[in-house]
Amino acid sequence: MAYHIPVLLHESIEGLNIAPDGTYLDLTFGGGGHSREILKHLSAKGRLIAFDQDEEAFANTIDDSRFMLIRSNFRYFRNFLRYHKIHKVDGILADLGVSSKHFDSPDRGFSFRFEGPLDMRMNRNAPLTAEVVVNTYNEKVLAKILSLYGELTNANRLAKAIANEREHSPITTVEQLADLVSPMVPPQQKNKMLAKVFQAIRIEVNREMETLRQMLLQVGQTLTTEGRLVVIAYHSLEDRLVKNYIRSGNFEGEVEKDFYGNVISTFEQLNRKVIVPSEEEILRNPRSRSAKLRIARKK
């Protein structure tokens, strides 16, 4: 049983343009909602390989001979395909959002709504936790993380407050961090600002931007000609990387053109305007409100 409502489900499945006998990847299995829908469109010859680095996702695995779930960070997906002698696939889906189960589990430390340890690891075997980041990172590095990944204008002030506090005693819980940050933000913006602080630290803990770059660099080599890439991003940093890579083949968005003025790129962007959830979907699933979907076709 899936523990979340899959975001932009119809739009992402449509974007994959599924061939019944094809081979597809779901790089972010989570509750399995997208995977279950992909399988509905596959014939007996079709295949779906899914990835998730969190052992808890395996409680949602699908009993289907066409399906394989691999416990791994998606940055290593191509290694696993080679191991299984799979050289090309027809479509790749990546929903970059944090699982609802993670946000709703106090012991995972992803949400400031609950008391719990400062953890935030998507892979609980990874050595780096939010507690380590908050208590050991240099103040200037902390400020850079809060500014870059949280897009916080008061990042220096927040980093200084964290550095001062930890000199007296370690910051080990979600509640401690939230209580420390709260007085430094306007009351009407408290939840929004706390969300940005927690997002910034989570991105650092899980190396999310570096992992996304490494994943995207492997996509072009893995998709068949006409194969589809479907990515759902949830904040501007992720979406910008995806948009630039699809458009130009690099993360800076620097477009190269051939002698005739045609853009040199591995992909054709199929939706010129980013796809976002409908008002109805946002009402049904408020966590979908920041989702942005991009679809590309391998040339």
> What's the domain range around 245?
9-100+208-298
**Amino acid 1: pLDDT:** 40
Query: What's the Cα-to-Cα distance from 225 to each of 47, 221, 270, 296, rounded to whole Å?
Result: 18, 10, 14, 11
257: pLDDT strictly greater than 90: no
Its pTM stands at 0.92
Of 166, 184, 206, the last residue of a domain is 206
Phi, psi of 173 (to 5 degrees): -125, 160
In a domain, 1, yes or no: no
Give the alpha-carbon dihedral of 199, 271, 23, 66, to 10 degrees.
60
Overall number of domains in the chain: 2
Tell me the residue length of the chain: 299
**Amino acid 102: pLDDT:** 77
In a domain, 216, yes or no: yes
**Amino acid 4: pLDDT:** 63
Do residues 195 and 216 both lie within one domain?
no
**Banded model confidence at residue 90, pLDDT cuts 50, 70, 90:** very high
227: pLDDT strictly greater than 70: yes
Do residues 14 and 79 both lie within one domain?
yes
2: pLDDT strictly greater than 50: no
How far is it, in rounded angstroms, from Cα 180 to Cα 173?
11
In a domain, 28, yes or no: yes
Q: Are 196 and 150 in contact (CB under 8 A)?
A: yes
**Banded model confidence at residue 267, pLDDT cuts 50, 70, 90:** very high
Percent above pLDDT 90 for the chain? 84
16: pLDDT strictly greater than 70: yes
**Amino acid 6: pLDDT:** 94
